[in-house]
């Protein structure tokens, strides 16, 4: 799924602007329960889709479906959670 057509959305100016809105809204703090890492280094933060959008653009852009996670939580805990639900 690395080459899914919707991947290009992450490269748009609209996504970069929305990403900053979400990071600011969440005060640059990981929203994973029990983590709470706060950092101004945005390269260490991921704007995550709570519900996987799988190409659904309405879900992709829905601010209610987005949260700030630190990279370790996103790349381990969140991925394990999504893999279990498949």
Q: Measure the CA–CA gap between 44 and 60, rounded to whole angstroms.
A: 21
Q: In the predicted model, is pLDDT for residue 55 greater than 80?
A: yes
Would you identify the CATH topology of the domain 5-85?
3.40.1800
Q: In the predicted model, is pLDDT for residue 1 greater than 60?
A: no
Look at the pTM and tell me if it is higher than 0.75.
yes
Q: What pLDDT score was predicted for residue 49?
A: 95
Q: In the predicted model, is pLDDT for residue 84 greater than 80?
A: no
Q: What pLDDT score was predicted for residue 80?
A: 74
Q: What are the C-alpha distances in Å from 26 to residues 5, 6, 10, 12, 22?
A: 28, 25, 19, 21, 6
Q: What pLDDT score was predicted for residue 86?
A: 58
Q: What pLDDT score was predicted for residue 79?
A: 74
């Amino acid at each position: 799924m690395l080459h899914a057509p919707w991947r290009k959305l992450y490269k748009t100016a609209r996504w970069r602007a929305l990403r900053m809105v979400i990071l600011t809204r969440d005060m640059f703090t990981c929203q994973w329960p029990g983590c709470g890492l706060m950092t101004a280094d945005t390269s260490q933060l991921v704007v995550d889709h709570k519900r996987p959008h799988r190409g659904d653009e309405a879900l992709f852009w829905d601010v209610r479906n987005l949260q700030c996670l630190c990279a370790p939580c996103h790349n381990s805990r969140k991925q394990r959670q999504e893999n279990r639900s498949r």
